[in-house]
Amino acid sequence: MHSESQIPIASQAASKQFATRVALFYGTLFGMTGAHLPFFTVWLKAVGIDPFWIGLITAAPPVTRFTVLPLVTGFAERHQALRGGIIVTAFATALGFFILGTQHLPVLVFQLTLAAWLIVKGVAAPAQRQSA
């Protein structure tokens, strides 16, 4: 069995450049998530959100992972827009997290968290398919 990829590539340099960009993208994405998640529920409690709403808000990301992810990636793939989808959703995610920090009402925080995680999952899935 060969240890090298059987996928034809234009050049070794292009392959390394793509791998570097994907590594930076995922490092940024998971670095942001890793810095955000441990303190998110503490922040929600500090701004006065009820435990019921905190539970709903923290349940939103896993639910979106299984419900919306196939729809978003299917749409991007059908329209041959994986790169564009990644770029648009990355900027929308950054904007969503910025706006989220300014909110203190449970319903708005829930809606923004849901929207941000829908976008995050939309960003991660096309990148995974593109690199495969």
Mean pLDDT over 100-119 rounds to 75
Quick: pLDDT tens for 111-131: 777 776 666 655 555 555 555
Q: Report pLDDT for 120.
A: 61
Indicate whether 4 pLDDT > 80.
Answer: no
Quick: pLDDT tens for 18-61: 888 888 888 887 887 788 888 889 988 888 888 988 888 888 87
**Domain contains 6:** no
Model confidence, pTM: 0.59
Distances (CA, A) of 85 to 17, 29, 53, 67: 20, 15, 31, 18
Q: How many residues does the chain have?
A: 132
**Domain contains 1:** no
**Domain contains 25:** yes
**Domain contains 117:** yes
Domain span at residue 118 reads: 12-131
**Domain contains 3:** no
**Count of structural domains within the chain:** 1
44, 56 contact by CB (below 8 A)? no
Give residue 113's Cα distance to chain centre.
12
Band of the pLDDT at 17, cuts 50, 70, 90? confident
**Domain contains 38:** yes
**Domain contains 7:** no
